[in-house]
Amino acid sequence: MAAGENSVQRLEISKKSIPDLAPLEAVLFDIDGTLCDSDPLHYIAFCEMFAEQIGMEVPDDEFLSKNIAGKHNDDVAAILFPDDIPKGMKFMKDAEERFRRLASENLASIKGLYRLTKWIQDRGLKRAAVTNAPKQNAELMISKLGLQDFFDAVIVASDCERAKPYPDPYLKALQLLQVSKDHTFVCEDSLPGIRAGVAAGLPVVGLTTTYPENLLMEANPTILIKDYEDPKLWDYLGQLDNKTEELLEKHPLQFPSNLGYPNCKREEQETLLLDFENQPDTNFVRQTKAFVQETKNKEFQLINNCV
């Protein structure tokens, strides 16, 4: 465990379930083990590095999951080489370069990932990747997954004074996206990552892709899922959609008459808005889109006051 991990200062732990986040504003993702099945590649890289530079085999999978997965490289270097930190840092640098070579050839997404990203895009939600991985790793994995245009922001450990398990990276994501922790959830697979999300006051969807379920429960995730096809996740998201619609029906968008939109039911308004998706970039279109965004922001405020 990284130094100070047990003493991480927390905001008030979120007691909200996923449906309680309605209306949802954003989803935040870790990368390794959360977007992609990268741990087997890290394991291969570490096995090779251990054999070449230390002259021994990696103890076992449990050693990797407890001492390496989800942790910042500075912490891993201190764990592996407590008496020679510079050697540890060089070891980690070489291991990451080897991982990138492996990942550039073979990197699989977590099952159901693109179903979830489509769900997020269809609802116009904001999204960010938040990782302890080096910037080069993060950019490579996001690119290989075809998600370079999906994220509004990417936060790596070097962007913050403190990495996970501290809440700083997730708090920075909320700040950059300008969203509320009361309407955002996190997807994470590691103990440091879940602890960071919980410490930031965010509900966390934990994935059992890296750690066993009983170990992840120690970090207090909101729910645990096997992958993004897990029926439990889609049951919660269905409840979230239903609750959002109930709230939005109480506060229908009101379009000013000078824009040519009638004051009508939300379903009709959304149909009318689709007309603007492929329109030329005229002043009228820009004016309408700006008004819609402003109205939606006011709508969120009205709903928040009622929840």
Catalytic residue positions? 30, 32
Walk along the chain (307 residues) in steps of 10 and give the mean pLDDT of each run: 46 81 95 94 83 66 64 72 78 85 94 97 95 94 97 94 95 96 96 96 96 93 98 97 84 47 48 56 60 64 60
For the chain, the distance separating the N- and C-terminal CA atoms, rounded to the nearest angstrom, is 39
Which pTM does this prediction carry? 0.75
Residue 191 has what pLDDT? Answer: 92
Hey, how many other C-beta atoms are within 10 angstroms of the C-beta on 110? 23
